[in-house]
Structure 1
């Protein structure tokens, strides 16, 4: 069997083979989909039994093999089948998932059904040039997790964590902030069973105002705090009306009671458990491995589903806006059934964030894929931003008419309605029409065999069984070993421990501090504390490494004792803190009822502090470093304190961008040569066929070759025909077995063999290039160096050297 890893290194998704509608057979040409095309989003439409689920799971599988993470919203329970992918393809792998009832109806035992299913899957994969090795590649490339909000069957997901205040950069974006508030409030009211219009509903306006005020101030909200805010809002007016006129207290109490009933419900406890709703962690594990996060909501009621989907989409929008722009595919968001979430006229809470994603996600490399088996009740104007349409068998003529109208409106340039009607007229099982705006014309294709066993919807009990077998939740990885950010307690304890005055120190009245000596106190909640004298140094350091792309400023605070002579500061013994947190703990005002240790005379001389300031600058330059992670392959470094796993997650996009740039170079390098060879091969083939008119009868379609797969992925689906290349190879072999009846046939064959050899040599050259790309640009194995950067000497800014009283 021919393997198919070559185009995978080139960012192409193997979705199936082209389909000949007139003959009703598959063509040998692969349907290879450029991953970058998915940044313009996709829509998949097809009735039950059309193969829609298989096609969409294939998209997720291909993305995973390419290292692209995904969030998959699963209202039906089918997407957990991604975990039913078995590299060994043994009957015992399938046995736990066999429907005993279905087996009995077939007159066979569950064991026999498992054996039959395993054989079916092995044969199905082989027919599409796949095997257990490719399944293993899929499972090794990605972590798969099933989240079940509101249930502990899978990984519980605490969606209410999204009531936390958004990051400051999003709060400064007024439009983004309004969208997030509106989506959050709409979802919450829907969960409480309250239908609310964002512009007309008092409930929506009141809650939006409460959220807006809290988040603008950077304060998190809990449901309890929100209920209290409803009863006693921190404002007196809403618009031009006073609060009581707009929404009387008695009626507000009814809203508060509705939300309180949510908290009081025993089933609500499950919503508070689990991992926080963190999009970065849904896309990548703690060690940076890409993840497919299946958000299973099949077990929820309609209002609960809307609540989860709305909050999740709001978090995705917020995450998206924090990313850098890219033309490569960074991540996927897939929703298995959007019926009811994206209607043409109504405005459910889920629709606004979906519209935002369809309009804006492309610039950030987020590909949105929406699927439905109900094509009538959809907002096709909103779907006009989708660049790719996959259309399978539809149930009614009304469905076909609606989809054709939507497709003509969304990607109608160059399309003919009559042609579309003809193409959609007799679509069979797993046959789809693909309209990609990046291709010249629509194409019919049959979807490949999925790597995952299509078991059908999973119950909560089955999800629980899968989750128990899955790896345990993330354990946070170690961060880069930057200096620890010391707390006030740690500073105090360290200072007391290193002080000779910690035991038996004479206690005296507070000494008189002369002019020119700055005096500060480290605050404490401890009563009647004894304060020890220390020297505080605060400096700003500038770390620059152009090769690593690093340019950061960092504040460091040092609390140091005097040396044994009690005349110089021993900066080498200082307790060091990073960042400005310590400065928040400092006070100019002496504490009440404090006791003071004796202060050495050196601390009471103003001129000493000027000397110590210079000594501190020298000490910082000689001893300070900033540990960082650096990837020389893409020339990127990570911000201090970021984990290696998060750095690898960031690198996955950078490496994909570099790969896409390398592919463009290969296209420019090989396209003219390949076009010439293909034209020569076509003319040589035609000549041989003319000389031997019956030669075509001896042609046999062979298996998909690695070389033609590479060329198809490299130059585009239509740039080189796999079928032409295979027909040419078959013709050469067939003609070689025929007796040479004339010199014309011999010369034609010799000429054709020379061209074929040139093409083979070029394929080998391309394979070498592809192998290099695969080894150099693999995020899992790319080299990450840990280096240290010294501060720039001329930029060391010692801002404070002062006498500091530290509580013991």
Structure 2
């Protein structure tokens, strides 16, 4: 049976902790995932359990289907890949600390078995079964990226500098911020500490980026180097370019940029996928993903460059998304030291501030973690709705945290002295939770993590864990698979088609002198897809190339491939060789037949596919892939689930509060009768309400105070005696209330089950609808003989 904490749309982070008795109560510490849209900060010294809390939070997010982008400056977060459902010693052994085993005088095999048993016992203690590890593994993909290294998955940072999405680029202030931080980070790689106002290097590069992005052009590093030497403008401000930055000096800057390409190992910065945020949040199949960017191996300047670029891409992505009140994704940064300081302004600070101010509206939760409170800009952290505060090292640290809490809690009220007393007594894995969405702070102990915490991972360990997973930048399709063998005869002059047939030439990417061109037919069509019921009214342009074949059927449109028509020319290239045309290609009548075959084939084989989620009344947009639509459906499911849970919370809060008050009055009646009743049984009833219904309701209802008063009444109840008859009546009233609480709990479980069944993205079925174009909806814009450059080896 699925645990109750799996059904609530909340994160199971631990249990409520009693600092007086220094132990956990049975009350679950459930954090409403929706609250994370107002962001969170985790503060705690080394050894406080900060990393375990962060990993536990990420685990909960992934189980709930929420993708995560994590920036990992220390190397701890790849531990999320150490998920061993079988909990056997063999799985643990490669990742144990040999130093710890030697220190204890235990053989590695025995130490691994000990660790496996420790994890099994720890999970059981926190009411988690090994099946939950399997659930985590099945819920999401986890990928470890190592920018500038091939230990994990590489990331291409300098392959291209793409403009922000159209919606984000329309904001001129944001565009200037992205340009400024990108240029600052790039110059930092060159060892240039550039001031955006006074540095001519910064001003020149900023103008180059602004010019290119205004034309929606992507710059790669090679193009940037060339543009530095020959900018597409003659003036900067009111000054002539040569007066502001002479050609000789620009050449020196271009050489420094060029040296980046020549530095040993820098090629890794050009490998892998570009910084495309949707790719890091979901797999191609629409499965949520945790993308962990480990940067511990980088120099300080390269770390700053990468973090700044990534943050700016995330800002651009959120501005292209529709708003939502639910949690869409999480940005987690472990150890914020140096990236968000209170005084200086590194390139990463501005985008972080922007995210804290703007990301909420788009459902992105930002979680920052640090061991030193003086690292944090408290003006920015005033935007943090949740504070997880662990053990702190000094009184000064506590004072800084209290100052930040005082600022963040200005609206809800803040008891500084009481909070200071609590912070001074926190132990390991014990945190104070201050949440602006709650009625009061709470102390809890973190649960046991599902992932094995082996400590910070080196690049060799990451390589051993993940293996190099090559990810290439997708290239436009030019031909399918292995092209058919070229026709044997070749000539330097292209054979002529019959009169009236147009001829086109399509050079392959990188084609050059001596290329061989193979003949085929090309057709560029405008296809109008229309369907009133699904609201489809779309015109798509597609260009297909089908190569001539040897055999009885010289041309088959079923083997046609899409090609880019932008490079289509009508002038034969020089120094090329052309294969012979098949005999059928010399007959005009054959082209009429092939034209009709193309239109028929397109009508039958090129439908517009859309998808429907009937339960949500959602239909995919034209051109929206199945994975993209599933992602949108998942968010819609989560929004609907959050709305349903909020209704349940309001519904049960009132009823639960009334029953709590009635039970409290019943116990006070027992107290007045001064009879000894079984206080332990009554205390169990109090815990019953707090652990299940109370966990669901959280600390968001004022009735939590009633539970506290109720516990006080129970403790004194055992010392009260009165006449037996009056006691029996009081106990009957208390039992009746307990029965109602039990009935309410059963009803609550049924309602939760119903919500889970109604809103489960993992079981949502999609219907596929194919919209075929009608005969009159296909317009043939270009049709004729085409020559496609082929770079295949030639046999002389």
Maintained 8 Å contact 1:358/1:386: yes
Mapping of residues 363-402 of structure 1, within 5 Å: 363-402=361-400
Separation (CA, whole Å) in 2 of partners of 1:148 and 1:62: 24
Mapping of residues 782-801 of structure 1, within 5 Å: 782-789=764-771
State the Cα distance separating 1:90 from its structure 2 match: 2.7
1:200-219: CA deviations, max 9, x gaps? 22111111111222222222
Separation (CA, whole Å) in 1 of partners of 2:255 and 2:238: 27
State the Cα distance separating 1:248 from its structure 2 match: 2.5
Maintained 8 Å contact 1:712/1:718: no
Mapping of residues 453-602 of structure 1, within 5 Å: 453-468=452-467, 510=499, 538-546=526-534, 550-555=535-540, 585=568
Maintained 8 Å contact 1:4/1:709: no
State the Cα distance separating 1:306 from its structure 2 match: 0.9
Residues 411 and 161 of structure 1: is their aligned pair in 2 closer, same or farther, counting only changes over 3 Å? Answer: farther
Maintained 8 Å contact 1:69/1:292: yes
Q: 2:610 aligns with which of 620, 628, 635?
A: 628
Q: 2:667 aligns with which of 682, 685, 688?
A: 685
The aligned residue for residue 569 of structure 1 is none
Separation (CA, whole Å) in 2 of partners of 1:157 and 1:534: 37
Separation (CA, whole Å) in 2 of partners of 1:139 and 1:722: 39
The aligned residue for residue 671 of structure 1 is 653
Residues 343 and 473 of structure 1: is their aligned pair in 2 closer, same or farther, counting only changes over 3 Å? Answer: same
Paired residue total: 748
The aligned residue for residue 19 of structure 2 is 21
Residues 532 and 79 of structure 1: is their aligned pair in 2 closer, same or farther, counting only changes over 3 Å? Answer: closer
State the Cα distance separating 1:405 from its structure 2 match: 1.2
Separation (CA, whole Å) in 2 of partners of 1:209 and 1:723: 64
Partner of 1:359, secondary structure, is helix
Maintained 8 Å contact 1:92/1:114: yes
Residue 102 (structure 1) aligned with residue 105 (structure 2): no
The aligned residue for residue 218 of structure 1 is 216
Partner of 2:762, secondary structure, is coil
TM-score by length of 2: 0.82
Residue 778 (structure 1) aligned with residue 760 (structure 2): yes
Residues 407 and 194 of structure 1: is their aligned pair in 2 closer, same or farther, counting only changes over 3 Å? Answer: same
The aligned residue for residue 449 of structure 1 is 448
State the Cα distance separating 1:463 from its structure 2 match: 1.3
Q: 1:759 aligns with which of 735, 738, 741?
A: 741
Separation (CA, whole Å) in 2 of partners of 1:8 and 1:770: 10
Partner of 1:157, secondary structure, is coil
Partner of 1:15, secondary structure, is strand
1:305-329: CA deviations, max 9, x gaps? 1111111112111211111110100
Partner of 2:621, secondary structure, is coil
Mapping of residues 405-444 of structure 1, within 5 Å: 405-413=403-411, 414-444=413-443
Separation (CA, whole Å) in 2 of partners of 1:96 and 1:32: 33
Q: 2:182 aligns with which of 181, 184, 188?
A: 184
State the Cα distance separating 1:330 from its structure 2 match: 0.4
The aligned residue for residue 653 of structure 1 is 635
State the Cα distance separating 1:530 from its structure 2 match: 13
Maintained 8 Å contact 1:75/1:336: yes
State the Cα distance separating 1:664 from its structure 2 match: 2.5
1:371-398: CA deviations, max 9, x gaps? 1112113211112111111111111111
1:423-456: CA deviations, max 9, x gaps? 2222222222221111122222222222222221
Partner of 2:761, secondary structure, is coil
Mapping of residues 194-209 of structure 1, within 5 Å: 194-209=192-207
Q: 2:310 aligns with which of 305, 312, 326?
A: 312
Separation (CA, whole Å) in 2 of partners of 1:677 and 1:248: 81
Maintained 8 Å contact 1:10/1:660: no
Maintained 8 Å contact 1:4/1:130: no
Stretch of structure 1 that moved more, 779-788 or 65-74: 779-788
Mapping of residues 186-265 of structure 1, within 5 Å: 186-265=184-263
Separation (CA, whole Å) in 2 of partners of 1:157 and 1:174: 28
Separation (CA, whole Å) in 2 of partners of 1:473 and 1:727: 61
Residues 228 and 535 of structure 1: is their aligned pair in 2 closer, same or farther, counting only changes over 3 Å? Answer: closer
Separation (CA, whole Å) in 1 of partners of 2:410 and 2:449: 30
The aligned residue for residue 791 of structure 2 is none
Q: What do you get for the CA RMSD once the two structures are aligned? A: 4.4
Separation (CA, whole Å) in 2 of partners of 1:61 and 1:759: 32
Residue 277 (structure 1) aligned with residue 275 (structure 2): yes
Partner of 2:611, secondary structure, is strand
Maintained 8 Å contact 1:557/1:578: no
The aligned residue for residue 61 of structure 2 is 63
1:113-148: CA deviations, max 9, x gaps? 323323332332222222312222222212112111
The aligned residue for residue 139 of structure 2 is 141
State the Cα distance separating 1:745 from its structure 2 match: 2.9
Partner of 1:639, secondary structure, is coil
Separation (CA, whole Å) in 2 of partners of 1:58 and 1:134: 13
Partner of 1:287, secondary structure, is coil
TM-score by length of 1: 0.81
